[in-house]
Chain A
Amino acid sequence: MHNNSMSIFVRNSLIALLVAGVITGTVIYAVNYLNNARVAQLGAMENQISIDTLSLDTQFSLLETAPCDSAASSTTLTGELTDLGDRLSYAEGQLGIDNAQVIQLKEQYSLLEIRDYLITKELAAACGTKPITVLYFYSNAGDCSDCDKAGYALSYLRTTYPSLRVYSFDYNLNLGALKTLITLMKVQDTLPAFVVDGKRSYGFTSLADFEKQFPKGALATSTTISAGL
């Protein structure tokens, strides 16, 4: 009887190990498949935004000045960039900040942001508009304790005031164009760092203090929304 129990135990243990291994392997494969699908979607979005950006840029070059009716297209592009940024942030949380695909996607995303920022400035100069732009520099290397709060506050402001254009950059990203932007804007490595309408500021304390950095009246139309809702 003992030998019989022993043989059943050994057999069942091996089968159970195999079953557990196959299930775990399948689950890991499925989750990886899903993550790859996420990355593929991000890549597709970036490609589309890249084409749209290039189209807008080419339009400017053809007309030798910024067509003011392109402002709407530019706004749509910024909205798409925001959506892409949110998804990229989520994917970064799922796949990890060291993931090569995530880093590559972030580099492309940062380039698109810089391009969109330049187009916005060109449109503003040609058409006399005054869009409020925020360049936000963060770090997720564990050396920026207030970056979470700053990011959340900017998400809130961006949602509440759709005309606000927020561009988020990972300060530590090894990207030539980003480093040039950081140099041009004279942004130091005290994070979080902001450039609101060309003026630099560092650190985050509260939403109220942060809002003071915006030009007077810049958030006026939406103040009602923030207070009322």
Chain B
Amino acid sequence: MCYNCAMMSPEVLAYPFLFIALYFESFLLVTFLSKPAREHRLETVVRSTPKVAIIVPCWNEETTVAGTVESLLALEYPKEKLSIILVDDGSTDNTPAVIDRFSHHPQITALHKKNGGKFTAMNLGIEHAKDAELIGFLDADSSVAPDALREIVAAFDEPGISAVTASMSIYKPRTILQRMQYAEYSLAITLRHVFASVNGLYVTPGPFSFYRRSIFADIGMFKRAYLAEDMEMTMRMQRAGLRIGNAIRARVYTKGPPTFPKLIKQRVRWTTGFMRNMFFDYRDLIGTKKNAVLGMFVLPLGIIAIGSGIFLFILSIFQIIQRGLHAFSMLQVAPLSYAFSWHKFTWFYLPITALTILGVMVIASTFVWMVIGKHASKTPGKLAFNMVVYLCLYGIIAPLWLMRSVSDVALGVRTTWR
């Protein structure tokens, strides 16, 4: 009979989070099918070619910056209207020499300064891009597809757009963690596309985000912002009522941390940057009706995602330990062969609960969004295996950086870049 069934299963605590996840997925679907998102997926028509400056802030990027610059030089855009500004932020490796190799190129300006942080390098670049109408940024470990800039520029044709984000993916994932990130980035492509269609973005990521030059005069330059200057700038733009778009077919490739410590470091920087900016400096955005998508949906769900990620992880660990100990104590009772012997199985014993069905539905729909993100952005690479890796690892690894981030913010631990 059912022994020790008296305790309420802690699994029921997961139901509210599952419902929120389902609501989130449903919102994604409805918004993806709505007119604004549909229009953003139409074929790109480039109506104008304004002057563009692309700034590449570099700090100890000797192995990757050359590839970044070469991909920028290969952009399909009128050469006389595209300038590239390389800013060495006091690198201690061979980066200065590498970027100086490009300084003779008519499109390229190479600048050197003392180390002051990424935002200072970006601001120096902006000061040297006086004649550009659009200013973009590209991290020195990333590269772009040849047609990416045309896609970005076309997205600025929409009235009221002040900034445009691209579709990031992991370049030739090699390690298992990079494969996991490839699937994660494919999902992020869809999320960015959908939320941009209703002006719900809270970050314009470092790789290939563009801004109208005028906004820096209107709302100011980049700030340190807890090492999340891109998030802070986006939140400032949202507070000012500016609109941020997305060019889903503007593909930018980044390397993605290959190892566990580097990945944790990066994600703790992102998550603490999000939390500190939002809780300390932009609390007014939470719940704001001025931008309801951001204030009443994206930001609250972002907070819930952090909380639920940690909670469900702890709950799972608790359950695994509890069941593991129970199974272990049972194995002490009877021979091991009995536990692994064949037992009659019928439909009656199918372990189907509302929790398992809803959980599978949420996971399946997440996979569908990954596939859509990859195909809508025309991102190269194979997704299927990377999705399996994501399924196996993400739920274990993500809570670790979430817990570390919450702990760092709560204890006031200063985040470092690398």
Q: Is the CB of B290 within 8 A of A2?
A: yes
**Residues 47-105 (chain B) with a chain A CB within 8 angstroms:** none
A9-B293, A13-B27, A31-B352 given as contacts; is B333 within 8 A of A1 (CB)? no
B29 within 8 A of A: yes
Contact B243 A9 (CB under 8 A): no
Closest residue of chain A to B341 (Cβ to Cβ) is: A159
CB–CB A38/B348 < 8 A: yes
A126 in the interface (beta carbon within 8 A): no
Whether A184 sits at the interface, judged by CB under 8 Å, is: no
Residue of B at shortest CB range from A24? B19
Q: Closest A-chain residue to B158, C-beta based?
A: A1
* Chain A 137-159 residues near chain B, CB threshold 8 A: 138, 140-142, 144-145, 147-149, 151-153, 155-156, 159
- Report whether B3 and A151 are in contact in the complex, using a CB–CB cutoff of 8 Å: yes
Whole-angstrom distance between the Cβ of B7 and the nearest chain A Cβ: 7
Query: CB within 8 Å of B: which of A52-106?
Result: 83, 85, 87-90, 92-94, 96-97, 106
B361 touches A23 (CB 8 A): yes
Cβ of A181 within 8 Å of any chain B Cβ, yes or no, is: no
Confirm or deny: A125 has a beta carbon within 8 angstroms of a beta carbon on chain B: no
What is the interface size of chain A, counting residues whose CB is below 8 A from a CB of the partner? 57
Q: Give the CA-CA distance A9 to B1 in the complex, in Å.
A: 51
Do A156 and B292 contact each other (CB < 8 Å), given the known contacts A31-B352, A149-B333?
no
Q: Are B30 and A16 in contact (CB under 8 A)?
A: yes
- Contact indicator B23/A17 (Cβ below 8 Å): yes
A148 x B27 contact (CB < 8 A): no
CB-nearest residue of chain A relative to B197?
A8
Whether B297 sits at the interface, judged by CB under 8 Å, is yes
- Determine if B292 and A10 form an interchain contact, defined as CB atoms under 8 angstroms apart: yes
Confirm or deny: A168 has a beta carbon within 8 angstroms of a beta carbon on chain B: yes
Question: Judging by beta carbons under 8 Å apart, are A5 and B4 in contact?
Answer: no
Whether the pair A152, B333 counts as a contact (CB closer than 8 A) is yes
Could you tell me which residues of chain B, from 1 to 52, have a CB within 8 Å of some CB in chain A? 1-7, 19, 22-27, 29-31, 34, 36
Contacts of B354 in A (CB 8 A): 24, 27-28, 31
- Judge whether B3 and A97 touch: CB under 8 Å: no
Contacts of A226 in B (CB 8 A): 335
With A and B bound together, what is the CA distance between A141 and B308 in angstroms?
Answer: 31
Do A19 and B330 contact each other (CB < 8 Å), given the known contacts A2-B290, A38-B348?
Answer: no
For the complex, give the distance between the alpha carbons of A138 and B1 in Å. Answer: 8
**B349 in the interface, Cβ–Cβ < 8 Å?**
yes
Contact present for B352 and A34 (CB under 8 Å): yes
Q: Does B199 contact A (CB under 8 A)?
A: yes
When the two chains form the complex, which single residue of A94, A145, A152, A160 contacts B330, counting CB atoms closer than 8 Å?
A: A152
Residues of A within 8 A of B280 (CB): none
B261 touches A (CB below 8 Å): no
**B326 and A148 form a contact (CB under 8 A):** yes
Complexed CA–CA distance, A106 and B2 (Å): 11
Q: How many whole Å from A148's CB to the nearest CB in chain B?
A: 4
- Give min CB distance, A153 to chain B, whole Å: 5
Partner of B4, one of A87, A140, A168: A140
- The answer, yes or no, to whether A118 is at the interface (CB within 8 Å) is no
Q: Does B334 contact A (CB under 8 A)?
A: yes
- B333 and A31 within 8 A (CB): no
* Closest A residue by C-beta to B350: A34
Give A19 to B358 CA distance when docked, in angstroms.
13
What is the interface size of chain B, counting residues whose CB is below 8 A from a CB of the partner?
Answer: 53
Which of B3, B29, B198, B335 interacts with A148 by CB under 8 Å? B3
Contacts of B329 in A (CB 8 A): 148-149
Closest-CB distance, A136 to chain B (whole angstroms): 9
Q: Is the CB of B26 within 8 A of A142?
A: no
Tell me the nearest residue of chain B to A85, going by C-beta: B1
Beta-carbon nearest neighbor of B289 in chain A? A6
Q: Digit string of A159-195 for contact with B (CB within 8 Å is 1, else 0)?
A: 1100000001010000000000000000000000000
Interface 1/0 per residue, A122-144 and B, CB below 8 Å: 00000000000000001011101
Chain B residues with CB under 8 A of A149: 329-330, 332-333
Contacts of A155 in B (CB 8 A): 334
B291 CB–A CB distance under 8 Å: yes
* Least distance between B358 CB and chain A CB atoms (Å): 6
Known contacts A10-B292, A20-B22, A153-B333, A5 near B3 by CB under 8 Å: no
Within 8 A of A (CB), among B236-264: 241, 243
**CB of A96, distance to nearest CB on chain B (Å):** 7
CB of A51 within 8 Å of the partner chain: no
**For the complex, what is the distance from the CA of A41 to the CA of B2, rounded to whole Å?**
18
28 contacts between A and B (CB under 8 A): A1-B160, A2-B290, A5-B198, A8-B36, A9-B198, A12-B27, A12-B30, A12-B31, A12-B198, A13-B27, A19-B26, A19-B30, A20-B22, A20-B26, A23-B22, A24-B354, A27-B358, A28-B354, A30-B357, A83-B344, A138-B3, A144-B4, A148-B3, A148-B329, A153-B333, A155-B334, A160-B338, A207-B334
Closest 10 CB pairs of A and B: A92-B2, A156-B334, A16-B27, A142-B6, A16-B26, A19-B26, A20-B23, A148-B3, A20-B22, A12-B30
Interface residues of A (CB under 8 A from B): 1-2, 5-6, 8-10, 12-13, 15-17, 19-20, 23-24, 27-28, 30-31, 34, 38, 41, 83, 85, 87-90, 92-94, 96-97, 106, 138, 140-142, 144-145, 147-149, 151-153, 155-156, 159-160, 168, 170, 206-207, 226, 229
Q: A2-B290, A31-B353, A92-B5 are in contact. List 12 more A-B contacts (CB 8 A).
A: A8-B36, A16-B29, A23-B358, A24-B354, A27-B361, A140-B1, A152-B330, A152-B334, A170-B1, A206-B332, A207-B333, A207-B334
